[in-house]
Amino acid sequence: MTGLRVSDFVTFAPVGDNGTVLALNTCFGTAAELSAELARKLVDADLTDISLELLRPLIERSVVTARSSEEEQRAFSRELLRRSRLAQEVPPRVYLMPSYDCNLKCVYCFQHGIRRTTPSVTMSETVALAALDHVEAIFGGEPRRSVTLYGGEPLSPDNRAIVEFLCGSARERGIRLMASTHAWNLDRYEDLLGPQGIEALHVTVDGPASTHDRLRIGPKGVRTFDIIMKHVRLALARGARIRMRVNVNENVLDQLEALREFLDTSGLLADPRFSAYVAPMFDTKAHVDAGTTVLSKSLVGEAALATRLGSSTELAAAFCGSPPIYDKIAAMVSGLEPLSSVGNCCYGTRTIVLDPRGDVYPCVFLAGETAFARGHYLRKTPDQDDSRAWVDEGTQRCREGTCKFALYCGAGSPYDSFAHSGSTLTPSCDCRDFEQTLAGYAAAAYRRRGAEESQLET
């Protein structure tokens, strides 16, 4: 066969421990498993001695192509437009904030500045009903309607009354409730946990107790890890689902295996209602404005985190990677339909945050930064939802129009851009780093899939 070449959109990721390499086409979202020898030939663009039998599946997956570079670029532009349009039609993620207050003092919290400069407000029942009215208007006839309680700390002792009211009112309207919580006070909400109340929890930890208790500090400096884990088990016993986010800096990265061992021996990894993922800690606007901090010096990039995850089957089986990026890469590795989102996080999926003052924000990390408020839901005629415009803005952030990673990196985190430049429009990623991120997460997804298949066989 003549006129064939390796696609411009192919990148190679070593996976497993036997020399296997994945060839990933980032335009069409396809993957092909290669031997190390075949991978070397493709890297060298040497197709002369490759048999038709080996070439045929590579052509089917667009790893090898007869298209010209110009034809591929036009195909890429069409795919970018297609996914951008799909992202507009996905049901939004909706968050409701009972208050901005929190009773822990996590050293890296992005809301410290907001709480220092903004008067404390707790949502009233009247405001809560207006928020739920707005939620119903947002979803319209969409049957899958769910809201995540967010903060501050939504499940703090001071919020008990309004959260109980929200649980009852949401259930009457057929709206499912989840909560993003530090879980320190979760025992105060035991009766509200489970399928008929708050059915799922997003719980954040900072590694095992040795690192967590230095970063996630309780009242009067009390240690928090053991109490949080006790409450995680309480929630699971009540029938709630738990998704655990592990915030990672250099110290947590070094202790990730210790956390995995703890989750394994405590039985959490074996519970089908429990899952965990890792995500890098990031600088906050307050830290950047204050200059270099100890926290800043200990941060790790997502490329280092992805590489660590991709180098260990045990870690890859225990933890997914950061969802905005990992999920898209995992879909490619598994041969699934490409996910619709193009932008990163809230810039890739419509996000609507309703705060206790009646303001509407497009990003949970930017809630309270009033310059980013996109409307108000307490007016007689609530402002029109412009979350679609925010997503459209996000899909245009990547200025490297020919970059083969543009469908996956989303130009980085919008909050990270804001923290360092004061604008969410500035890309916050590095194409060279992202190639390492993609390879690491591809290896992690490959290892995780293999571990799951082995478990099914046994």
Secondary structure, 3-state, 75-114: HHHHHHHHHHHHHHHCCCEEEECCECCCCCCCCCCCCHHH
Chain segment 290-342, per-residue pLDDT in tens: 776 656 778 899 999 999 999 999 999 999 999 989 999 999 999 998 887 77
Strand partners, 11: 24
- Residue 182 pLDDT exceeds 80: yes
Interatomic CA distance for residues 34 and 22, integer angstroms: 6
Please answer whether residues 180 and 151 qualify as being in contact, where contact means their C-beta atoms are separated by less than 8 angstroms: yes
Chain segment 131-144, per-residue pLDDT in tens: 999 999 999 888 88
pLDDT interval class at 401 (50, 70, 90): low
Tell me phi and psi for residue 239, to 5 degrees. 95, 5
Interatomic CA distance for residues 386 and 46, integer angstroms: 50
Chain segment 141-172, per-residue pLDDT in tens: 888 899 999 999 999 999 999 999 999 999 99
Pairing mode of beta strands 359-361, 351-354: antiparallel
Candidate from 10-24, 220-234, 333-347, 432-446 with smallest mean pLDDT:
333-347
Burial class (CB in 10 A: 0-12, 13-18, 19+), 338: buried
The pLDDT assigned to 373 comes to: 92
Give the count of beta carbons closer than 10 Å to the beta carbon of residue 406: 23
The pLDDT assigned to 400 comes to: 60
Strand partners, 354: 96, 360
Mean pLDDT of 45-72: 93
Chain segment 80-98, per-residue pLDDT in tens: 888 878 877 788 899 999 9
Chain segment 218-257, per-residue pLDDT in tens: 888 899 999 999 999 999 999 999 999 999 999 999 999 9
C-alpha distances (whole Å) from 285 to each of 84, 247, 409, 419 are: 29, 18, 22, 4
Q: How many CA atoms lie within 13 A of 201 on its CB side?
A: 34
Chain segment 109-129, per-residue pLDDT in tens: 877 677 777 778 899 999 999
Interatomic CA distance for residues 192 and 126, integer angstroms: 21
> For the whole prediction, is pTM greater than 0.95?
no
Please answer whether residues 41 and 47 qualify as being in contact, where contact means their C-beta atoms are separated by less than 8 angstroms: yes
The pLDDT assigned to 123 comes to: 96
- Give, in degrees to the nearest 5, the angle at Cα 372 between 369 and 378: 90
pLDDT interval class at 193 (50, 70, 90): very high
